[in-house]
Amino acid sequence: MFIFLTVVQAIVAALLVVTILMQKSEGGGLGVGGSPAGFMSARGAADFMTRATTVLATTFVVLSIALATLAVGQTSGREIDTSLERAAPVQNAPAVDPLAPAQGGAAPAVAPAQPSTPAPANDPLGGAAGQ
């Protein structure tokens, strides 16, 4: 039923576009009253196109509401499908120093950290390793 109404709405939409494009562009569109002239005179054709546009537009709106109602009715009992959800492991990125020179700030004036354990007394280099 849903597919049938979708096809009918596509046909109505195409007819509505054609009907609107066939109308005269200098006025005589929607809202024009009846004319005493014949049905297929210029004025009678404009009235026919106006009525056709009104009927097609109303049909399009009614079909849109019907399709929306059917779509809600078909999907209301389902759960959310999470089969495509991929849970990647979260990796903690190193914190960025807001005062780093790369971001345009001044470099922090922090002295380098000293080892917390003193060198052994029998160290042949006297505690000055690597100099």
Contact 2, 70 (CB under 8 A): yes
Residue 13 structural domain: 2-24+40-75
> Within a 10 A sphere around the Cβ of 101, how many other Cβ atoms?
10
Sign of CA dihedral 88, 91, 95, 100: negative
Per residue in 41-92, pLDDT (tens digit) is 556 666 888 899 999 999 999 999 999 998 887 765 567 767 777 766 667 7
| pLDDT confidence of residue 64 | 95
Sign of CA dihedral 67, 69, 73, 78: positive
Whether 118 is in a domain gets the answer no
With a threshold of 0.85, does the pTM exceed it? no
Whether 32 is in a domain gets the answer no
| pLDDT confidence of residue 4 | 93
What total number of domains does the chain contain?
1
Sign of CA dihedral 20, 24, 27, 29: negative
CA 39 vs CA 16, 57, 64: distances in Å = 21, 22, 32
